Homo-oligomer: A and B are copies of this chain.
Amino acid sequence: MAMTGILRPGHVQLRVMDMEEAVTHYCDNMGLIETDRDDHGRVYLKCWDEQDKFSVVLEPSDRAGMDHMAFKVRTEQDLWRFESNVKNFGIDTKRVAAGELNGCGERIRFTAPSGHTFELYAEKEQVGNGLPTLNPAPWPEDIKGMKAIRFDHCLLYGVDHDENIRLFTEALEFELTEQIVDGDVQVAAFLSCSTKAHDIAFIRSEEPGKLHHASFLLGSWEQVLRAADIISMKDIPLDVGPTRHGLTRGMTIYYFDPSGNRNEVFAEDSYRYPDSPVLTWEASNVGQAIFYHSRQLVDSFMGVTS
């Protein structure tokens, strides 16, 4: 089979401090769809063009941040294989029972060297993308706000960077697509398990387990403009954009949810294959690597995580 192992980012569980504000933000402003709530007060959301029941879980908390990010693997055998890989790498894993998240099968949970919690699962209830599988229209009506298409990736700040990248590339079979280097030191690593420019990315940091942003796909640069307009119209705190990244070529805009978790919506980044060369950006050129047009790093963008 052509795609094996880890298929995609499956969901991100975000801590939010005011659930109804958060639901308004993610649903009314960004266009996600609420699909369920549970006894822990968690709210389950999906983007319209995802088949699975949820890709974002909002968890009530007294602080912002990422509880965990989960990847969907292709088969149950993949799940046990990765569990074994992670253990062999020297990291403890824990099994979380099917149903602990509504509609999700058994999960393998572990803490990566970066300080972040990750999970893997092979099964999640499919609810469809709002279009029939027989003679579907190209898009459903009544999607709100920015009309986010799918949860796409996270960028994370964490410790023990090199060991962490080794975990992802050796035990979890991700591939390095792009990187920022400062001499011999890899400052940032963009990793893919597909033909996307990134399914996850890590920045070398001195603080463990931080979320820089959770990112969602839009349909075009015109839709990035529309998202930018909505950000101002709805008084959403903008961070940076609209602009293009040097890294991945994506057209992007960054802003914050009401709890201070950074979101990105973006369009049209580049594609790659396993035999594509790794692209490298020098730390001396990091401004252009990150914001291709302004070439200026922004304090809020570099310094604020959740």
Contact = CB atoms under 8 A, between A and B. Distances in A.
A126 interface: yes
Interface in A249-304: 249, 251, 253, 268, 270-271, 273-282, 285, 288-289, 292-295
A54 to B, nearest CB: 15
A304 B268 CA distance: 33
Interface string A3-25: 11111100000000000000000
A242 interface: yes
Interface in A167-203: 173-175, 192-196
Given A133-B278, A285-B135, A174 B293 contact: no
Interface string A125-138: 01010000111111
A115 to B, nearest CB: 24
A113 interface: no
22 contacts: A1-B5, A1-B175, A2-B4, A2-B7, A2-B192, A3-B3, A3-B4, A3-B274, A49-B270, A51-B275, A72-B275, A74-B275, A134-B281, A136-B246, A137-B232, A139-B229, A194-B195, A222-B222, A229-B292, A238-B294, A238-B295, A241-B293
